[in-house]
Structure 1
Amino acid sequence: MTRFLQAVTFIFVLLVFTQLAFAQNKIVVFQSDFGLKDGAVSAMKGVANGVSTDLKLYDLTHEIPAYNIWEAAYRLEQTVRYWPAGTVFVSVVDPGVGTTRKSVVLKTKSGHYIVTPDNGTLTLIAESLGIAEIREIDEAVNRRKDSQKSYTFHGRDVYAYTGARLAAGVITYEQVGPLLPKKVVSIPYQKATLDGKVLKGNISILDVQYGNVWTNIPDSLFNQLKPHYGDIVHVTLLYKNKPVYKGDMPYSQTFGEVAEGKPLAYLNSLLQLSFALNQGDFAKTNHIASGSDWSVEVSIN
């Protein structure tokens, strides 16, 4: 009997520690397409501080192009995994504000929380980190006081408020609202695949500072082509399945391995296949953009 009680106690303690590992940690990270030219971001942070001044408030970015849900999805994918479990992300790129799209909080299997409209923003993070649970925000409880007449700033009145309450421990995750099925609105895009000797993938994003083109093709898949530094990579970039660019470039470890202004293929900081001009803007020069409609095909002789 004693051994049984010890075993039960051990399991209970383990469950408690598991829950604590996924508990909120008073960190809130904000993302939006608001920019910093006006007071919108400050208003959201003011609401969060109104919930608790113990919160630690950070920015992911507020320079998402207006209405660009895909880029919001990508920036979460690029960033969330590097924050501690328990961090609450408030992502507001919401062209459908005030409509019937759901306001949700997704809890990933890694223990992160994403507060956002379910409009495609969760496409990539749901795939990579998985859905532990997803709950619809109950606005009867989790909405800033006296804001019911406002229909166009849910980022301030619903998302920042709910995210802050969750991060501060004012509410538990279960008190966010009713449980939803483990699925999200998803934006279709070209997954990274190997079709014979041709790699196919999506142009996920541009390295906006330098004009480099980043794909979703990971090093593990690219390595199936058995590349060596110096090998010539044949690249086709497509928009809505129509070729926009075709070119050859060496697979390089660093930008300086090619002459200034010349193209190269390389692995970016996320170990994904990317393309650049040494000290030039590949995207601008070749009229390349990014998003769910952009794709890439790659081969090596």
Structure 2
Amino acid sequence: MSTSFQPNGIITLLTDFGTQDAYVGAMKGVILSHHDQLRIHDLSHEIPAQNIRHGAFVLKDLLPWFPAGTVHCCVIDPGVGSSRSALILQIRDQLVVAPDNGLISWTGYQPTDPIYEIPMPQGEKATKLSSTFHGRDLFAPMAAALASGAQKLNQLSLLPELPVHISWPDPQKQSETVFKGEVVCIDSFGNCITNITEEDFQNAKRVEVKSNVSVSIRCVQTYSDADDGDFIALIGSSGLMEISSVNSNAAKKLNLGCTSEIKLLC
């Protein structure tokens, strides 16, 4: 069971809004209007539009690096304005404020970690709730109230049903020497992050991908083990195998995307 939450005044923002429009700025304005001493940190606003799976992966990667008491306000919300719920996950002495659409799936939360329901505004407040921008009108105000201590978790109700969950695609061991996996995320460098773990990678000899390009992908320890343009596989900072092209974009060159099949040969 999670311990009692003590806010530290830090709010992070994770969205697919980009930075050229007013959306992120509006959320920050709402937060600071609630309490101007709160500290706002941008995780990313470049999640591909409506890509919940990508957002879930980034959130998974970032949670362990933040201190206890942090509130993460995460808005990748293609279902905005629908009947989808809004939630607060309490995990490892941190809070995640998000739509109930699978975004929290890969955080590693346990059945004993409480998940609270964010109540929808009622009465006059409901008329001010935009049907297209809950980031500003629902999630940012709740994140600010939690981070400032104005909103206590024990004043909220638990989510009445299990949250939407996106299953992690576990690699399949096809034989003693072959693992079948897939690309789970592509970063801004074009590195294809897979679901192959460091343990599975230990005895790897090479990697095969389904591509219209005939390539040899060898397994290395660092980028410096290969020449510019070479295709390589290595364990990245997420602790998962990545397929990369040295100083180039592997995803574009190999025409790979999320869920593309890969094989690890040991």
TM > 0.5 fold call: yes
Q: Which has the larger radius of gyration?
A: 1
Equivalent in 54, 72, 96 of residue 79 of structure 2: 96
Equivalence for 2:119: 138
CA contact 1:235–1:246 (8 Å) conserved in 2: no
Whole-angstrom distance in 1 between the partners of 2:170 and 2:179: 10
Whole-angstrom distance in 1 between the partners of 2:62 and 2:213: 29
| 1:51-100 Cα deviation digits (max 9, x unpaired) | 11121111111111111111111110111111012211111111111101
Whole-angstrom distance in 2 between the partners of 1:119 and 1:74: 14
- 1:84-123 correspondence runs (5 A): 84-108=67-91, 110-123=92-105
Equivalent in 128, 133, 136 of residue 148 of structure 1: 128
CA contact 2:207–2:233 (8 Å) conserved in 1: no
Q: Are residues 217 and 169 of structure 1, via their aligned partners in 2, closer, same or farther at CA, if it must alter by over 3 Å?
A: same
Q: Which has the higher helix share?
A: 1
Whole-angstrom distance in 1 between the partners of 2:34 and 2:53: 30
Equivalence for 1:258: 226
Gaps of 5+ in 2: none
Shift of 1:152: 1.4
CA contact 1:144–1:157 (8 Å) conserved in 2: no
CA contact 1:236–1:298 (8 Å) conserved in 2: no
The question of 1:124 aligning with 2:106 is answered yes
Whole-angstrom distance in 2 between the partners of 1:49 and 1:179: 27
2:116 maps to amino acid: R
Gaps of 5+ in 1: 1-14, 238-242
Shift of 1:145: 5.1
Equivalence for 2:63: 80
Whole-angstrom distance in 2 between the partners of 1:266 and 1:288: 17
Shift of 1:158: 0.5
CA contact 2:129–2:138 (8 Å) conserved in 1: no
The question of 1:159 aligning with 2:132 is answered no
The question of 1:233 aligning with 2:206 is answered yes
Q: Are residues 234 and 144 of structure 1, via their aligned partners in 2, closer, same or farther at CA, if it must alter by over 3 Å?
A: farther
CA contact 1:201–1:216 (8 Å) conserved in 2: yes
Shift of 1:144: 10
Shift of 1:195: 3.6
Tell me the SS of whatever aligns to 1:283: helix
Normalised by the length of structure 2, the TM-score is 0.90
1:59 maps to amino acid: D
- 1:160-199 correspondence runs (5 A): 160-175=140-155, 177-180=156-159, 183-188=162-167, 190-196=169-175, 197-199=177-179
| 1:118-144 Cα deviation digits (max 9, x unpaired) | 11211211xx24351111101248x99
The question of 1:216 aligning with 2:195 is answered yes
CA contact 1:234–1:247 (8 Å) conserved in 2: no
Tell me the SS of whatever aligns to 2:186: strand
Shift of 1:190: 2.2
Whole-angstrom distance in 1 between the partners of 2:134 and 2:124: 10
Whole-angstrom distance in 2 between the partners of 1:253 and 1:211: 18
The question of 1:284 aligning with 2:252 is answered yes
Shift of 1:147: 5.4
Whole-angstrom distance in 2 between the partners of 1:269 and 1:33: 22
| 1:207-255 Cα deviation digits (max 9, x unpaired) | 21x21111122212323xx34xxxx313234xxxxx6677432211122
Shift of 1:163: 0.7
Tell me the SS of whatever aligns to 2:216: strand
CA contact 1:147–1:157 (8 Å) conserved in 2: no
Tell me the SS of whatever aligns to 2:159: coil
Equivalence for 1:8: none
Tell me the SS of whatever aligns to 1:124: coil
Shift of 1:32: 0.9
Tell me the SS of whatever aligns to 2:135: helix
Q: Are residues 190 and 174 of structure 1, via their aligned partners in 2, closer, same or farther at CA, if it must alter by over 3 Å?
A: same
Cα RMSD (Å) of the superposition?
2.4
